[in-house]
């Protein structure tokens, strides 16, 4: 078998003309972004934006820092940190992304990562660390019982959690007389910047009240809305990229051909300098992120849970299943849309049309099982917030109860099969599911008693309990026919 050359700076010239490559001199790029959590979404989303920006302004290279073990560094260093982004649509578009200037493992290169974080050259710290990384209780307070918070409060100069790293970086910059960086959450969370700010301030107050006051006065924590469907990299993608490039890429990524990044306009944020790459900067971020979380992510989760418990493996297959596709469209137009204020110059009805087209993208094979991960953390912003607003106006919960019940049945299914549950509460969820009998009257109260998932006021609300229970029994007995 003939060895295939590796993607690298030296082999860029061997690429087919149809493959886009960095439109700038990488040697001239400097680093102004430090990113925590360099997973697939960051590499397919923010890195692509900055790759486009570097053609206009060479200051915005990215230092990636992982606080958890990852083979990413070993995969990409032999490639000079280059990798392939495949945009999936009717026709594939391949681009070589060159915006990553460093990849550091925080547990192995702590001094180097901290030096970069403290450097005044870094203008923004971005992150994709999931809901779990903000270390918050159900009511949004800093969870001081979390192991990483306990460790970092005891040893603030040697942080292991992202909140501790941010506070220590800001402390050291203040001590050195440097301006602070902007802290920009890119996680798919409602009011993500507010959440990050709350955790950072609470942590700082616990160790140094003067530092906390300085952070409160000087540091920008803009809220953001990020959007693009990014399926996991698999061997099929690697094989496809090798065939199309004629080169080996150890870790390509793919996403749909739709992408969006909206950032709240704050004076101390550098985001206004990124608009040339397609970033939207707005004063009205709340309307954008609620629309996305509820309409796109809420519908996505619904397709994932209802699909998974009915043997449907991908979102495209779910949309090719008429009862489920019709149900989700009704849920979006008749149950979710009435709870949302429309952003200025942004049609929510058109947005729903766009979302439904994206779900039907023939090139996307986004696994329902992957979307179902971390459900205990996602139900709140994606679905329960809509339920709470519907209750305020007396709207029906019949359809809204379905995805909640489907999540419960999904946990039961995984537990019954002995399959691992990917969720921060996996052990608790497995214990609850193992104690279920198959009847909503017995099972639903056990799930609703999980205070970390369901606010107590909602968990005891009679219309909500009734809607979830009815959906639970119907889905268990009838499957997809329950949606008709």
**Domains of the chain: which residue ranges?**
12-283, 286-483
Nearest to 389 by CA among 397, 378, 379, 398: 397
DSSP 8-state symbol, 367: B
pLDDT score, position 304: 98
What is the distance between the alpha carbons of residues 348 and 340, in angstroms, rounded to a whole number? 9
Point out the residues of the chain with pLDDT beneath 70.
1-2
Tokens representing 395 are 């709207």
12-283 adopts what CATH topology? Answer: Rossmann fold (3.40.50)
Q: Which residue has 């204020």 as its token pair?
A: 341
What is the distance between the alpha carbons of residues 303 and 314, in angstroms, rounded to a whole number? 9
CB 429 within 8 A of CB 449: no
What is the distance between the alpha carbons of residues 165 and 156, in angstroms, rounded to a whole number? 8
Helix (H) or strand (E) holding 240: helix 235-245
Give the CATH number of domain 286-483. 1.10.1040.10
What is the distance between the alpha carbons of residues 383 and 378, in angstroms, rounded to a whole number? 8
Cα 394 off chain centre by: 31
* CB count in 10 Å sphere of residue 197: 20
Distance in Å from the first CA to the final CA of the chain: 54
pLDDT score, position 189: 85
CB 315 within 8 A of CB 359: yes
Beta strands 124-127 and 253-256, pairing class: unpaired
Nearest to 414 by CA among 372, 447, 379: 372
* CB count in 10 Å sphere of residue 178: 16
- Residue 31 to residues 39, 101, 148, 324, 442, Cα–Cα distance (Å): 19, 7, 28, 46, 56
pLDDT score, position 1: 53
pLDDT score, position 299: 97
Collect all residues with Cβ–Cβ distance below 8 Å to 111 and sequence separation of at least 6: none
pLDDT score, position 2: 67
pLDDT score, position 436: 97
Beta strands 93-97 and 83-88, pairing class: antiparallel
Query: Which residues does residue 184 pair with via DSSP β-bridges, in sequence order?
Result: 126
pLDDT score, position 261: 96
What is the distance between the alpha carbons of residues 55 and 15, in angstroms, rounded to a whole number? 19
């Amino acid at each position: 078998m003939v060895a295939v050359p590796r993607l690298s700076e030296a082999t860029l010239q061997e690429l087919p003309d149809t493959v886009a490559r960095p439109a700038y001199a990488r040697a001239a790029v400097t680093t102004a972004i430090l990113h925590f959590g360099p997973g697939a979404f960051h590499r397919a989303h923010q890195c692509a934006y900055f790759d486009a920006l570097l053609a206009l302004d060479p200051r915005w290279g990215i230092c990636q820092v992982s606080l958890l073990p990852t083979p990413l560094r070993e995969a990409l260093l032999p490639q000079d940190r280059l990798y392939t982004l495949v945009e999936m649509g009717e026709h594939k578009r391949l681009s070589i992304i060159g915006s990553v200037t460093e990849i550091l493992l925080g547990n192995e290169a702590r001094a180097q990562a901290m030096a970069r974080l403290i450097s005044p050259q870094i203008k923004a710290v971005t992150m994709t660390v999931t809901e779990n990384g903000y270390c918050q209780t159900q009511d949004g307070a800093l969870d001081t019982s979390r192991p990483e918070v306990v460790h970092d409060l005891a040893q603030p100069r040697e942080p292991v959690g992202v909140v501790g790293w941010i506070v220590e970086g800001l402390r050291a910059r203040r001590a050195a007389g440097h301006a602070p960086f902007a802290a920009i959450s890119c996680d798919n969370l409602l009011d993500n910047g507010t959440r990050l700010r709350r955790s950072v301030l609470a942590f700082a107050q616990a160790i140094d009240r003067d530092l906390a006051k300085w952070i409160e006065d000087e540091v920008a924590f803009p809220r953001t809305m990020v959007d693009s469907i990014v399926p996991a990299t698999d061997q099929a993608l690697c094989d496809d990229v090798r065939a199309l490039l004629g080169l080996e890429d150890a870790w390509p990524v793919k996403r749909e051909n739709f992408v969006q990044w909206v950032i709240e306009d704050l004076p101390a944020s550098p985001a206004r300098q990124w608009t040339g790459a397609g970033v939207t900067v707005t004063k009205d971020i709340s309307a954008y992120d609620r629309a996305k979380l509820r309409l796109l992510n809420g519908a996505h989760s619904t397709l994932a849970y209802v699909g998974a418990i009915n043997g449907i493996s991908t979102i495209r297959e779910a949309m090719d299943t008429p009862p489920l596709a019709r149900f989700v469209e009704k849920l979006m137009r008749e149950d979710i849309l009435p709870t949302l204020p429309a952003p200025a110059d942004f049609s929510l009805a058109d947005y729903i049309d766009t979302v439904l087209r994206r779900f039907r993208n023939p090139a996307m094979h986004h696994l329902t099982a992957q979307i179902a991960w971390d459900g205990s953390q996602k139900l709140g912003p994606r679905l329960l917030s809509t339920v709470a607003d519907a209750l305020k106006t007396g709207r029906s919960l019949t359809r809204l109860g379905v995805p909640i019940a489907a999540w419960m049945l999904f946990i039961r299914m995984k537990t019954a099969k002995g399959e691992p549950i990917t969720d921060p509460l996996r052990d608790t969820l497995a214990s609850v599911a193992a104690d279920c009998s198959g009847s909503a009257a017995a099972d639903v109260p056990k799930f609703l008693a999980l205070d970390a998932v369901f606010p107590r006021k909602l968990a005891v609300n009679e219309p909500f309990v009734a809607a979830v229970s009815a959906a639970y029994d119907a889905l268990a007995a009838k499957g997809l026919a329950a949606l008709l």
